[in-house]
Amino acid sequence: QPGNQIISSSTAGPSTPQTTSVNTWRNNSQSKNNELYIEQTYGTNNTVNITQTGTKNRIDFTMGGNNNIVNNTQTGSNYLKEEIPGWGNNVTINQNNTSSSNYAETKIQGNGNTVNHTQTGTGNHILFNVVTGDINTVNATQTGSAGHYAETKLTGNWNNVTVNQSGNTQNK
């Protein structure tokens, strides 16, 4: 039975701090050339696979807990920030954008959660996720040339969320 849920879809758009992060990333004229930061302060049996190609890719990453699996692939101008305290979480994020930028931020607390994000196309896709609780599944896909925005906040246990944004018209 589903637990408490907060699923947010707002026409107001990202918050001021989120907009600042996005604009700072997009407006930075420096070529990042695949920067990567990982800070794992504790945990065992975690698996992390990261592939980055192109220019200005950057991943900020903090992991703790046990038996987490993280797979990140970025091609193009992307930016990604993750925090995953908990155990048994499975996160797969694929961003592919060669002429504009993607931005994804995923925070997970809890255990046994699965998060899959795919961002493709030339649009300025933005995606924020916060998952708190256990055994939740979030699948999000953003494709096309429009700048899509999705923010999913999920609290509780045993919830499933699917977000699909596509096309040449902006979806929020």
Per-residue pLDDT of 6-39, as tens digits, reads 344 445 666 777 777 666 656 665 455 777 777 7
pTM as predicted: 0.81
Q: Which residue, among 157, 165, 171, 162, has the nearest Cα to 5 in the 3D structure?
A: 157
Q: Which residue, among 29, 30, 27, 62, has the nearest Cα to 43 in the 3D structure?
A: 62
Strand arrangement, sheet containing 137-142? 47-53, 69-76, 90-97, 114-120, 137-142, 160-165
3-state DSSP call for residue 22? helix
Strands 35-40 and 58-63: parallel
- If you average pLDDT over residues 106-113, what whole number do you get? 95
Give pLDDT, residue 24: 66
Strand arrangement, sheet containing 80-84? 35-40, 58-63, 80-84, 102-109, 125-132, 149-155
Give pLDDT, residue 10: 46
Give pLDDT, residue 130: 94
Checking if the pLDDT of 84 tops 80, the result is: yes
Cross-strand bridge partners of residue 12: none
Count of residues making up the chain: 172
